[in-house]
Structure 1
Amino acid sequence: MSHPVDSTHPVEPSIARMTEEAAKQKAVGTSEKREFAGEDDFKHLDNLRENPNAVLENPLQGISHERLEAMGRAFAREKGLEEYEEEFAKGAQLAQDPLAFESVAMLGDADREILRDEVAHKWRHPWQLYSLVVCCSMAAAVQGMDESVTNGANLFWPPALGLVTTSDNPNASYDEWILGLINGAPYLCCAVLGCWLTAPLNNWLGRRGTIFLTAFISAAACIWSACTSTRWNLFAARFVLGLGIGPKSATVPVFAAETAPPLIRGALVMQWQVWTAFGIMLGTVSSLAFYHVGDTAHIHGLNWRLMLGSACLPAFAVMAQASLSLLPSVARSAHHFVLFGCTQVFFCPESPRWLIGRGRYRDAYHSLCRLRYSKLQAARDLFMINALLEEEANMPSGKAALLELFAVGRNRRAAVASGIVMFMQQFCGINVIAYYSSTIFRQAGFDEITALGATLGFGALNWVMAAPAVWTIDTFGRRNLLLTTFPLMCIFLLMTGFAFYIPETSKARIAVVALGIYLHCMAYSPGEGPVPFTYSAEAFPLYVRDIGMSYATAVTWLFNFIVALTFPRLLTAFTPQGAFGWYAGWNALGTLLVLFFVPETKGLSLEELDQVFSVPTRKHASYHGKGVGYNFRKYILRQRLPPRAPLYQWEDRTVAREF
């Protein structure tokens, strides 16, 4: 889009050239930079030059306010946003340090009042932002319900489709493997196909379009599951369900992160885990609601069919919110009505980052204006997003990014740490309970309806106990949460397994099994529940983050499939005692893996994260291995010990204050 040049107001150089000149300022230092930066800033700029990943933290550091004002005005004119030139002049200065708005001379009293309110009332935002949060939360609930509706249905559909897993069947072992294969089919699809479709779907359809499409696939697959008549038809339906689960699990947290204000970004991204837990509870409610539904003259197994099909309801709700049909469309043909309403007119604002990637700067600005209270805030955030994207464009991409994920030591250590927490999310035993708790409670002595009621208690606890993670994950820390909760999960699974040694006629057996499962859930929900996705999203440098998240989600869904596949057979071969002991052992191992191979990422800048993951694995493991004895003497024996030498340079000041 071209614009006439006003000779009285010459156009500034392009934003790309100005950013390049700013980078030169950072590298060599000029009199202008010296005016605005102290000696510490020079050291920081040297680090930026030596560490290209750290440039992505804030590429505007070290640039004078006058230069930023010129860059903002040039950006507005270059991108067809001339009428907002004043907002972008101010926004470019604010983008350098959003919390230092009091020092920006261009701002008026009204501007400063808006920015003060943004800090003082960080949860006060336009309703459309919270509408978007609701949409993401419902998408998470779809995810949880897709995972858990099979729990109650497992009591009915296997015998209806010819799978008999009781001991009097000579083919029980084979049927148990088929049962596990069908239950795990969505996660097999996620691991081998679904997660890897995330990037192309997002590039083609955008964040909203991907969410809409995956919700549609989930709804269609659930209805298909309810209409199946053979085990392999059900397997195919559930495999297709994975095409909805995989891309959605990677897209929704990214969509929330890219549209949320910085001050509440972590809390909004965390809603994914909270509302996935809510969806798991809804799946159990569905099982109870349809338990007593009887067959009709032409439909057999109506209860389990309604259970499996009920997960389409929240998916339809997401689709309804993701697209809004305009009234004039009513007069069109049905074909054009559906096409226009479902693919063109989206109710939620699109991710401004995605729009910028398509060169749609005006749309990106209007999207941010719907998500922020003022045009100044929208201009600030748009200018910063564009600056980050320009820096990312200089980083490797495509196939090179996949190679660098494992070839570069810093990235490889992040991949190992993310892989560990994603793997342990499945092998900590929680999804064994989510998928098969009704079967477990039946073996403990519950009747079917009571087993479903006990499962509802598990789902409710999983949801309620996920809420504290919104605060603890950024205060107590990711690593500390895991090191605290893995040993607890190990103990509670052993407690559950050993409870099966209590005579079946005793009510104590039922009580202890239920208590052990509930305590395990209470330990999981604020720890290994929210940490993996949050950790994986921040561990990778931005230039390999998309491929890193695809790898991390593929790991979690692959092992989710293995858990769903093996547990029915494991329950028979190992007995309940051995099966729960097996997963208790993995929790014990998970404690050691986190201790030696998973660094803390809480509250660290990108530059500090680079330093964390640049420490050799052997050095990190040795440091924390020796720390076990040190912490035992200091915190258990209460000995007064001198502080340990810090593992990272930026810890020096913290250690000094502690001692």
Structure 2
Amino acid sequence: MANEKPPFNGVKGAGPEGETDKIDVKDERSSGASSPDRLQEATLWERQRDPYLGKSERDVIVDLEGLIQRYDLHDLKDELTRGARYAYDRDDTDRLNPTEHEIHWIAKEKSPAFKDKWAQTKTMYFVACKYLYSILCGSAAIVQGMDQTAVNGAQLFYFEDFNITNSWIQGLVNGAPYLCSVLIGCWTSPVLNKYFGRRGTIWISCFVSVASGAWQGATFGTWQLFASRFVGGFAIGAKSSTTPAYAAECSPPRIRGALGSQWQMWTAFGIMLGFVASVAFYGVSAEGYSGLNWRLMLASTSVPPIIVCCMTFFAPESPRWLMSQGRYRQAFSSLCRLRHCRLHAARDLYDIHIRLMLENELKPKTAWARATQLFAVPRNRRAAQSAFFVMYMQQFCGVNVIAYYSSQIFINAGFGERQALLASMGTGIINWLFAIPGILTIDTKGRFSFYIPETSTARIGCVATGIYLFMVGYSPGMGPVPFTYSAESFPLAVRDTGMAFATATCWGFNFLLALTWPPLEEAFTSQGAFCWYAAWNLFGFVFTWFCLPETKARPLEELDAVFNIRTRDHVKYHLIKTPFIGKGHVSNDLADVAQIIEGRDMKGHV
């Protein structure tokens, strides 16, 4: 059958680089032929599920001894040996003779209790704060969100001050950061990460944000404003690619998924702060100094990145990045700060090491080879199609029309300037609040409110209600899902390249949306422009239902089978299973497809 898997007994993606689900670890790992024979027999698919497959505990210790010799870790030999043995078999901890302190934290780690799941070190709270994503990474997300919306209120004034009347130039100025992100920012991130690390890349991107924000507040012409905003896009591209990876690489497996999904929530918080800044500085003026209010709105975006720049000096570097640079001693010190006991730090050090070795074996050696494999292999191509589509729809659902132009939209609906800014701030608050709970996505409403006569007070209420309902629907759905879905879709060998393309897709269409809204609204009126994005939402609903594979509740290693299903077979299955359309009974030729999509094993169990 298409989804039949070879026998597997191991730790399914255990440790910092995968899941923590347990299966019996001993029999298949240490039985049978010699280690070279077992390693040769293990398929690549099996080794991705369990990198210890085909190895005995003695093999692990021999490998560790070579690691200790290579990186001069002799003073840590006893600790690292215990950690490697723990990584190999996490069930039989008695053989490690753990101390009372270690027994306490071993039990905490295995406990299903919610409070035990979030029992982390103070340093971990600094990097990945309890319930509130991370202090450092969350602040970086806030920087990005505030960069996006401070322009919303400021444009009400700088268009007039600089006499920017051409709608295409208005869109170009507003979308300048995202043009830079898609052309430069996303593609420089791998280089910056290689030479400066995760913390260094975050620091550089935030420093650029500080400079860009200050420059925007001091501009004296249209094209200087464009240039200052364009430079800010370098920071957005690098930061959005690096910060989630940094948090994931520092976090324990039990809370990594929860933290990863919070990037969008704190970006939404930054979006809200951008609206707050617009309201706060609206009435500020000074005699003889033109446009002080909008200059302060834009310059206020420099404040959060200053804080983040300072915080990076106190945060530990990503252990995984340090090990990729051969700095194992520093990686162990970093893990000791991030874990409650040194036994866990030693275990995670060896586990990251063995997975890095597998990744180096799998990963194509050149950028061209990685890009070719991304599109030449059908499984990868389907992952790319799915990831690029959700990134595209995140923008073309129309959300950033509200982020960039809601104040002008409210003015067109009959609001005054101050009331428009307050109403826009309401969209930011709703966007943040509804990014927190995982509620069902509602359909967008209120798109036709502009047909109500301008003299009617109902027009103002309906436009505001429609936009607020849209944000309620977007925040728990198309907001956080695309980045999480994209990160899950690509296999290990092309994950970095795939995510670079996916992120560039997101920012590229973000730029197109910012660029085209003013001329679109000018040509088709507000209701016509909104109908355009309503149509894309309808298309996205249909395409998502029939064509996108589901990744929820699937270990990353099992997604190869999901994305190996041909798109046309996926469509056929959902046509049959959709109520009022299909019969509900899958034919024999689609039986294998149904088994994979429904997540059933060989006995038919889900």
Which range, TM-score by smaller chain?
Answer: 0.7 to 0.9
Q: Displacement, 1:80?
A: 2.2
Aligned-partner SS, 2:600? helix
- Which residue in the other structure is 1:89 paired with? 81
Distance change >3 Å, CA 292–CA 385, structure 1 → 2: same
Distance change >3 Å, CA 534–CA 655, structure 1 → 2: farther
Q: Displacement, 1:392?
A: 1.4
Contact 1:142 1:279 in 2 (8 A): yes
Contact 2:576 2:583 in 1 (8 A): no
Q: Displacement, 1:538?
A: 1.6
Structure 1 runs (4+) deviating above 4 angstroms are 32-38, 45-48, 630-634
Q: Displacement, 1:597?
A: 2.7
Q: Displacement, 1:613?
A: 1.0
- Which residue in the other structure is 2:338 paired with? 371
| 1:535-589 Cα shifts (integer Å, max 9, x gaps) | 1112111121111111001000000000000001111211111111110100011
Counting only pairs closer than 5 Å after superposition, residues 16-415 of structure 1 correspond to structure 2 as: 36=30, 49-50=42-43, 52=44, 55-96=47-88, 100-102=90-92, 105-108=95-98, 110=100, 111-120=102-111, 121-132=116-127, 133-164=134-165, 175-297=166-288, 299-323=289-313, 347-395=314-362, 396-398=364-366, 399-415=368-384
Distance change >3 Å, CA 553–CA 74, structure 1 → 2: same
Distance change >3 Å, CA 613–CA 221, structure 1 → 2: same
Q: Displacement, 1:510?
A: 1.1
Contact 2:46 2:53 in 1 (8 A): no
Aligned-partner SS, 1:241? helix
**Which residue of the other structure, out of 576, 579, 583, is the alignment partner of 2:526?**
576
Contact 2:42 2:53 in 1 (8 A): no
How far, CA to CA, are the matches of 2:536 and 2:204 in structure 1? 36
Distance change >3 Å, CA 569–CA 308, structure 1 → 2: same
Counting only pairs closer than 5 Å after superposition, residues 580-599 of structure 1 correspond to structure 2 as: 580-599=530-549
**Which residue of the other structure, out of 493, 506, 521, is the alignment partner of 1:556?**
506
How far, CA to CA, are the matches of 2:475 and 2:46 in structure 1? 33
Distance change >3 Å, CA 70–CA 448, structure 1 → 2: same
Aligned-partner SS, 1:527? coil
**Which residue of the other structure, out of 491, 495, 516, is the alignment partner of 1:566?**
516
Distance change >3 Å, CA 648–CA 54, structure 1 → 2: farther
Contact 1:214 1:247 in 2 (8 A): yes
How far, CA to CA, are the matches of 1:35 and 1:224 in structure 2? 60
Moved more, 251-260 or 69-78: 69-78
How far, CA to CA, are the matches of 2:71 and 2:83 in structure 1? 15
Contact 2:86 2:347 in 1 (8 A): yes
Contact 2:42 2:54 in 1 (8 A): no
AA paired with 1:459?
Answer: G
Contact 2:144 2:270 in 1 (8 A): yes
| TM-score, scaled to structure 2 | 0.88
AA paired with 1:352?
Answer: P
- Which residue in the other structure is 1:455 paired with? 424
How far, CA to CA, are the matches of 2:97 and 2:497 in structure 1? 40
Q: Displacement, 1:631?
A: 8.4
How far, CA to CA, are the matches of 1:448 and 1:179 in structure 2? 18
- Which residue in the other structure is 2:448 paired with? 498
How far, CA to CA, are the matches of 1:34 and 1:184 in structure 2? 56
Q: How many percent of aligned residue pairs carry the same amino acid?
A: 47
- Which residue in the other structure is 2:555 paired with? 605
Distance change >3 Å, CA 632–CA 518, structure 1 → 2: farther
Give the unaligned 5+ runs of structure 1.
Answer: 1-31, 165-174, 324-346, 473-483
| 1:395-422 Cα shifts (integer Å, max 9, x gaps) | 2132211111111111111111000000
**Which residue of the other structure, out of 443, 448, 456, is the alignment partner of 2:412?**
443
Q: Displacement, 1:109?
A: 5.4
Counting only pairs closer than 5 Å after superposition, residues 518-537 of structure 1 correspond to structure 2 as: 518-537=468-487
Aligned-partner SS, 2:593? coil
AA paired with 2:234?
Answer: L
Distance change >3 Å, CA 602–CA 397, structure 1 → 2: farther
AA paired with 1:363?
Answer: Q
How far, CA to CA, are the matches of 1:530 and 1:518 in structure 2? 18
Aligned-partner SS, 1:296? coil
| TM-score, scaled to structure 1 | 0.81
Distance change >3 Å, CA 383–CA 303, structure 1 → 2: same
| 1:576-606 Cα shifts (integer Å, max 9, x gaps) | 1111111010001111221233211122223
RMSD: 2.5
Distance change >3 Å, CA 384–CA 555, structure 1 → 2: same
| 1:471-530 Cα shifts (integer Å, max 9, x gaps) | x7xxxxxxxxxxx63xx34x42xx2x2111112122211111111111111111111100
Does structure 1 residue 514 correspond to structure 2 residue 464?
yes
Q: Displacement, 1:90?
A: 2.5
How far, CA to CA, are the matches of 1:69 and 1:419 in structure 2? 43
- Which residue in the other structure is 2:23 paired with? none
Contact 1:421 1:532 in 2 (8 A): yes
Moved more, 439-448 or 587-596: 587-596
Q: How many residues align?
A: 560
Aligned-partner SS, 1:652? coil
Moved more, 179-188 or 618-627: 618-627
How far, CA to CA, are the matches of 2:244 and 2:352 in structure 1? 17
Q: Displacement, 1:103?
A: 5.4
Contact 1:180 1:566 in 2 (8 A): yes
Q: Displacement, 1:633?
A: 7.6
| 1:23-67 Cα shifts (integer Å, max 9, x gaps) | xxxxxxxxx9658569xxx9xx899844x3553343113433343
How far, CA to CA, are the matches of 2:245 and 2:187 in structure 1? 15
AA paired with 2:105?
Answer: I
Contact 1:222 1:308 in 2 (8 A): yes
- Which residue in the other structure is 2:14 paired with? none
Contact 2:86 2:93 in 1 (8 A): no
| 1:237-257 Cα shifts (integer Å, max 9, x gaps) | 111111110010000011011
Contact 1:185 1:239 in 2 (8 A): yes
Q: Displacement, 1:108?
A: 2.3
How far, CA to CA, are the matches of 2:311 and 2:507 in structure 1? 27
Contact 1:290 1:303 in 2 (8 A): yes
How far, CA to CA, are the matches of 2:426 and 2:350 in structure 1? 48
Contact 2:331 2:349 in 1 (8 A): yes
How far, CA to CA, are the matches of 1:458 and 1:534 in structure 2? 23
How far, CA to CA, are the matches of 1:103 and 1:377 in structure 2? 12
How far, CA to CA, are the matches of 1:430 and 1:632 in structure 2? 33
